[in-house]
Chain A
Amino acid sequence: DTAVSQTPKYLVTQMGNDKSIKCEQNLGHDTMYWYKQDSKKFLKIMFSYNNKELIINETVPNRFSPKSPDKAHLNLHINSLELGDSAVYFCASSPGLAGPTSTDTQYFGPGTRLTVL
């Protein structure tokens, strides 16, 4: 009965590699997000998708490419990993029919801890 799930939970890799993180939600929500949380707990939005369409794209290197095959899935692919990419990545979803609204409650996944060596 997991609401928002992410795989893998931990990811350790070398600089320069390409990796993907998968996210799935079974809440029937139309909007999904990717957040990055650094070591200082700062939580920053990276992307938001509404029904498979990109609606928010913060200042993120183009090495990061989100893909939404359907509205229940939002995967994050990262090319040419760098040391500074080490962080915890959270996927989230919210009901917003046309994107996030001011009253939308976001439901977060458990996070993926990415370590780049």
Chain B
Amino acid sequence: LAKTTQPISMDSYEGQEVNITCSHNNIATNDYITWYQQFPSQGPRFIIQGYKTKVTNEVASLFIPADRKSSTLSLPRVSLSDTAVYYCLVAGNQGGKLIFGQGTELSVKP
């Protein structure tokens, strides 16, 4: 089972780049890595997904090294509205375990 480990909390200031790393030492060949964002009193929502190397969209970038044992979510120039909990999910194929990490609580200060 691909268990994930993330820092429990991080602090940042507006305008900074934030990098959140997730460890998943037991990731399987077919597993993809997906990150979700959760605001208070809301359900998680998809941010970005990747398998290897680098993926970028309008919200974030995801860096995955060659061994795929970790991944880093990068949020460029954060704002106060990026304050949320960020979850790393390593998911396998049909019937596979869906294991979310404990989440990283990001606090962005003015």
Contact = CB atoms under 8 A, between A and B. Distances in A.
A89 B100 CA distance: 15
A85 to B, nearest CB: 19
B43 A42 contact: no
A107 B92 CA distance: 17
Interface residues of A, number: 28
B19 interface: no
A107 B42 CA distance: 12
Interface string A94-110: 00101111111111111
Interface string A9-52: 00000000000000000000000010000001111110010000
Contacts of A44: 100
Contacts of A111: 41-43
A44 B44 CA distance: 13
Interface stretch (B10-18, B28-36, B53-61, B73-81): B28-36
B98 A56 contact: yes
A4 B30 contact: no
B98 A48 contact: yes
Contact of A108 (B43, B85, B91): B43
Contacts of A56: 95, 98
A41 B95 contact: no
A107 B34 CA distance: 13
Contacts of B49: 103, 105
Interface in B56-104: 85, 87, 91-100, 102-103
B94 A96 contact: yes
A44 B98 CA distance: 8
A46 to B, nearest CB: 10
Contacts of B97: 45
A33 B44 CA distance: 13
Interface of B: 30-32, 34, 36, 41-46, 49, 85, 87, 91-100, 102-103, 105
Q: Which 7 A-B pairs have the closest CB atoms?
A: A108-B43, A99-B94, A43-B100, A102-B32, A105-B46, A41-B103, A45-B98
Given A43-B44, A55-B95, A106-B36, 17 more contacts: A4-B43, A42-B102, A43-B87, A43-B100, A56-B95, A96-B94, A100-B91, A102-B30, A102-B31, A102-B92, A102-B96, A104-B91, A105-B49, A107-B45, A109-B43, A110-B43, A111-B42
